[in-house]
Amino acid sequence: MKSISKLTIMAAICAISLFAACSKKDKDSDTNSLSTDKDNVQLITSSDQISTDMEQAFDDGYNNAENGMATTDGLVLGPCVTVTLTQNGNMKTLTIDYGATGCVCSDGKTRKGKLIATATNFNQVNVIRTLSTDNYYVNDYHIDGNITRNITHVAADSSRTVELVEHLTITNPGGNDVYTRNGNQTRIQFVGIPNHPIDNTLTIWGQVNVQRPSGLQISRTVDQTTPLLYKNACHQIVSGISHIVRNNHNITVDFGDGTCDGTATVNNGTNTWTINL
């Protein structure tokens, strides 16, 4: 498998660290200042990555258990990860165990704990799969909750349309700040070469709501006409437009033309700036 670049790993490590900066600014989050807008955009982007990584972990784990792909070839697995697939009656359980002490994964993040997926069939249309956490941490941030997935369509090119419902809680390493993320999204996953996840892509639209520790809500909407395109090759969103709203204050994020440049352009109606993904 093609290795993930050092730049991508650095971006991945920094993404979840943005919650620390968000925590420091939360007391000022009821204002519509430029600094608050920048903070809220990064908060949404960071929580997106957490959700996407959980889904990628399931795909990596399933390819390991069913197709023999090495854990070191997974994008968010590593040499210290154990994957097991069991069946009890009609129910299948896929367990991705990062261990109790911390496993440095292919994307540079340190994970520990477990992700547990259950379903009667992981690839059948209109069968609900639930992906839950068990004492799961990413870079010492505690991620609790679940993501349910329902495959609604499989196309001739093997791309799959899935409906995702998310309920996640993110707690900072000190345990002082807790964020919640709830979402309903549609994703079309294109799978390239089997057991070669680096060339897979995701097309995403729908709505996500993030609640800050102060209780303030931030919503992010992506229209089907301008969906987000996520490329595994660079572990980033590379095109599409998202609309972020808080207290009737609107922000637009344009992720570009499909190039893996690690940036997006943000406009809040008054100012325009560039963020690093």
> Per-residue pLDDT tens for 191-225?
877 767 888 999 999 999 999 999 999 999 999 99
Question: Do the domain assignments include residue 177?
Answer: yes
Question: Do the domain assignments include residue 51?
Answer: yes
Q: Over 37-91, what HEC string results? A: HHHHHHHHHHHHHHHHHHHHHHHHHHHHHHHCCCHHHCCCCCCCCEEEEEEECCE
Question: Do the domain assignments include residue 165?
Answer: yes
The structure tokens listed for 130 are 């639930």
- Counted domains in the chain: 1
Question: Do the domain assignments include residue 160?
Answer: yes
What residues make up the domain containing 180? 6-276
pLDDT by residue (tens digit) across 147-180? 999 999 999 888 999 999 999 999 999 899 999 9
What one-character DSSP code corresponds to residue 2?
Answer: P
Check pLDDT > 90 for residue 182: yes
| Global confidence as pTM | 0.88
Question: Do the domain assignments include residue 158?
Answer: yes
Mean pLDDT, the chain, as a whole number?
89
Query: Among 32, 37, 41, 12, which residue's Cα sits nearest to residue 242?
Result: 41
Question: Do the domain assignments include residue 1?
Answer: no
